[in-house]
A and B are shown apart, each in its own frame.
Chain A
Amino acid sequence: MKRIVTINTRDLAKSVENGGCGECQTSCQSACKTSCGIVNQQCEQLKKEEE
Chain B
Amino acid sequence: MIHAYQLNGYNIILDCNSGSVHAVDEVAYDMIRLYENKSREEVTAEILAKYADREDVTEKEINEVFEDIEALRAAGRLYSTDRYENLAFDYKKRKTEIKALCLHIAHDCNMTCQYCFAGKGEYQGSKALMSFEVGKAALDFLIAHSGRRRNLEVDFFGGEPLLNFEVVKQIVAYAREIEKKYNKNFRFTLTTNGVLLTDEVMEFVNRECYNVVLSLDGRKETNDRMRKTLGGQGTYDRILPRFKKLADLRNQEGYYIRGTYTHYNTDFTNDIFDIADQGFKQLAMEPVVSDPSEPYALRPEDLPVLKEQYEILAKEMLRRDRVGNGFTFYHYMIDLSGGPCLYKRISGCGVGTEYMAVTPWGDLYPCHQFVGNEAFRLGDVFNGVQNTDLQDEFKLCNIYARKECKDCFAKMFCGGGCTANAYHATGSLTGIYEFGCELHRKRIECAIMVKAAEALDEQEALEAAEAQDVSAAPQDA
Q: What is A's interface to B at a CB cutoff of 8 Å?
A: 1-13, 15-16, 18-20, 22-47, 50
Contact = CB atoms under 8 A, between A and B. Distances in A.
A11 B239 CA distance: 44
A12 B17 contact: yes
Nearest to A29: B153
A29 B47 CA distance: 48
Contact of B459 (A5, A26, A32): A5
B343 A4 contact: no
Given A26-B349, A34-B421, 11 more contacts: A7-B336, A9-B21, A11-B76, A20-B344, A22-B97, A24-B340, A29-B100, A34-B287, A35-B440, A39-B413, A46-B338
Contacts of B341: 10, 12, 15-16, 18-20, 43, 45
A38 B287 CA distance: 17
B418 A38 contact: no
Given A23-B150, A39-B340, A5 B22 contact: yes
Contacts of B117: 34
Given A3-B28, A3-B68, A26-B355, A40 B153 contact: no
B345 interface: yes
A21 B442 CA distance: 30
A12 B24 contact: no
Interface string B264-304: 00000000000000000000101101000000000000000
A9 B22 CA distance: 10
Interface residues of B, number: 83
Nearest to B333: A40
Nearest to A27: B349
Interface in B295-346: 330-331, 333-345
Nearest to A41: B340
Contact of A39 (B189, B345, B456, B459): B345
A27 B368 CA distance: 13
Nearest to A24: B340
B91 A38 contact: no
A16 B20 contact: no
B19 interface: yes
Contacts of A37: 330-331, 333, 414
A6 B75 CA distance: 12
A19 B17 CA distance: 16
A19 to B, nearest CB: 3
Given A20-B91, A28-B355, A31-B213, A2 B18 contact: no
A26 B256 CA distance: 15
A24 B189 CA distance: 15
Nearest to B285: A31
B68 A26 contact: no
B149 A25 contact: no
A40 B330 contact: yes
Contacts of B289: 34
The 6 closest A-B pairs by CB, nearest first: A19-B341, A20-B343, A31-B284, A15-B341, A38-B415, A3-B28
A27 B258 CA distance: 14
Nearest to A49: B338
B153 A3 contact: no
B211 A29 contact: yes
Contact of B368 (A2, A7, A28, A44): A28
Interface in B182-211: 187, 189, 191, 211
Contacts of A43: 338-341
Contacts of A13: 18, 76, 80, 342
A37 B28 CA distance: 31
Contacts of B286: 31-35
B21 A4 contact: no
Given A3-B28, A7-B455, A29-B155, A36 B418 contact: yes
B434 to A, nearest CB: 13
Contacts of A20: 91, 341, 343-344
